[in-house]
Amino acid sequence: MDFSVWMGTIQERSENTLDRLLPAAHIAPQRLHQAMRYAALRGGKRVRPILCHAVGEICAADPGRLDVAAAAVELIHIYSLVHDDLPSMDNDVLRRGKPTCHVEFDEATALLVGDALQSLAFQLLAEQETGENAARQLAMISLLAHSSGSRGMAGGQAIDLAAVGQTLSLEELELMHIRKTGALIRAAVLLGAYCGKPLTAPEMARLDHFGKVLGLLFQVADDILDSESTTATLGKTAGKDAAQNKPTYVSLLGVVRAREKAAELRAATHESIAPFGEAALRLHQLTDFICDRSF
């Protein structure tokens, strides 16, 4: 199956899974549930679910288990976008081509939407069968919680806040991204692995490394995309980081060296999963797709 067709099927599965697992809009409190569904459905590239499913091919994971794990990590991602768009954070009005959640509803509702989406992510991992046994499900919850928290995604956002108007070194910028975006990308990779037959410790370490490098690659590609796109093609406010005087790979390195950096990371990403052979085909294709969005 062609990669873009395969990706389309996973995006559709993800949409259907979220639709099924989110509370129905007619269940009380209706406005909150409507807002949760507004934020979560019909939009988004579903990179993390696709990643989860691509890793699942390496370890012969059950697609139904992958659906739940992918939904959990995507819910964490979505909640972070809803909170990130709030006036006290990035103050953004456009997301995925639609008004952001607090613009469409109101700030208080958007705050609760994010809070409730986070709870739902952990509820799914605890209630749905995602791993071979309860101990493995606990490991998945621990991983996702750690990746989301103060030493993961939320911590990366805190560093990002502190960086506005600051001059960061490349190392500091990477540390910020490793937490802000990288932690959840890595979690998507490892959650996919937990859904299948147990891998060896070296295999898990390889996937762990792959997840970390891919996370950085994703961010460099995103910075290049953001610097060169218009708001219309991007579906969110373009050039925002530059306007807010936030450091990016492009502002720090210039676009030429940022592209070189992306090319290096791309090669390192492919290399890290080469030992998996044919089973890693989708992961290789996804890596190329993430790069070719922007160059």
Residue 98's beta-bridge partner residues? 95
Is position 133 an interface residue for a copy of itself (rule: CB under 8 A)?
yes
Instruction: Judge whether 291 and 221 are in contact, CB under 8 Å.
Output: yes
Letter string b/e over residues 168-184, b meaning 16 or more CB atoms within 10 A of that residue's CB: beeeebbebbbbbbbbb
Contact window for a copy of itself (CB under 8 A) among 106-114, 201-209, 216-224, 237-245: 106-114
CA 190 to each of CA 29, 78, 234: distance values in angstroms, whole numbers, following the listed order: 34, 19, 29
Q: Which of 7, 54, 66, 141 binds a copy of itself (CB under 8 A)?
A: 141
List the one residue out of 188, 185, 191, 193 whose CA is nearest residue 59: 193
Q: State how far the Cα of 31 lies from the Cα of 37, in Å rounded to an integer.
A: 10
Is position 255 an interface residue for a copy of itself (rule: CB under 8 A)?
no
Per CB under 8 A, contacts with a copy of itself among 27-66 are 27-29, 31-33, 36
Q: Is 95 helix (H, G, I), strand (E, B) or coil?
A: strand
Is position 171 an interface residue for a copy of itself (rule: CB under 8 A)?
no
Q: Which of 25, 93, 103, 154 binds a copy of itself (CB under 8 A)?
A: 154
Q: Which of 100, 137, 219, 251 binds a copy of itself (CB under 8 A)?
A: 137
Q: How far is the CB of 129 from a copy of itself (least distance, A)?
A: 10
Q: Amino acid letter at 203?
A: E
Contact window for a copy of itself (CB under 8 A) among 122-130, 226-234, 259-267, 270-278: 122-130
Residue 94's beta-bridge partner residues? 99
Interface residues with a copy of itself (CB under 8 A) are 23, 27-29, 31-33, 36, 79-80, 83, 86, 88-89, 106-109, 111-112, 114-116, 118-120, 122-123, 125-127, 133-135, 137-139, 141-142, 145-146, 148-152, 154-155, 157-159, 161-162
